[in-house]
Amino acid sequence: MTEGEQLRLDNIANTEHDIFALLRQRYSPRVFKSETIDKNHLNQLFEAIRWSASSNNLQPWRFIYAEKGTDAYQAIFDCLSDFNKTWAKNAPLLMLTAYKEKTDDGKENFHALHDLGLALGSMAVQAQYMEIALHHMAGVDWKKAQAVFSVPEGYHIATAVAMGYYGGELKDLPEALRDQETEQRKRMPLKEFAFKESWNGRSASY
């Protein structure tokens, strides 16, 4: 077992309440095994997205992905923020996510971004089941990405994703990022975001 593989076992979340094991195990590494993701595995990941819930079953999500060593991979990489470029080169696959802004009858789809997030959540759980890690990135120049990949009007690039099998080595990261990869994972307490009957104790008008 490599240092990178052991790292995954050390990153199981210390949850306050018992939850599904795949959710406890899931995290966003910045190192991956170098091997290409199996085509059948990739199809399974997109199949998980295909069966995700969406408002009125509109399925507004769209994706552009590319494997390392291709011109398209480099084009996606070039759209990432400078910080993400310091580690995303470790990923065997990079992906851009997008959503359709309006319904077919021209109305604004207020829930499209929500549906994209829900779809990526489904992909994340399926990926975890298959020993595949996803690292979602907000740091992407979406305007550049839309121009480079000729994204049609009415669709909006939202995020980027680095993807690969769990593993890799810490030495592949810049030294400044190695501590972040091994530090204890933290989340805000439930009481700070789940409010019963009113907004955090504020008076309600019902």
Residue 36 included in any domain:
yes
Residue 178 included in any domain:
no
What average pLDDT is seen over the chain? 93
Residue 177 included in any domain:
no
How many domains, in total, are found in the chain? 1
Per-residue confidence band for 8, with pLDDT thresholds at 50, 70 and 90: low
Whole-number pLDDT of residue 29: 94
Residue 116 included in any domain:
yes
130-181 pLDDT per residue, tens: 999 999 999 999 999 999 999 999 999 999 999 999 998 888 898 889 888 8
Cross-strand partners of 108:
102
Q: What is the mean pLDDT of residues 173-193?
A: 89
Residue 195 included in any domain:
no
Residue 68: CB partners within 8 Å, gap ≥ 6? 36, 91, 92, 93, 94
Q: Which domain holds residue 141?
A: 29-165
Residue 191 included in any domain:
no
What is the CATH number for 140? Answer: 3.40.109.10
Identify the CA nearest to 111 among candidates 95, 100, 126: 100
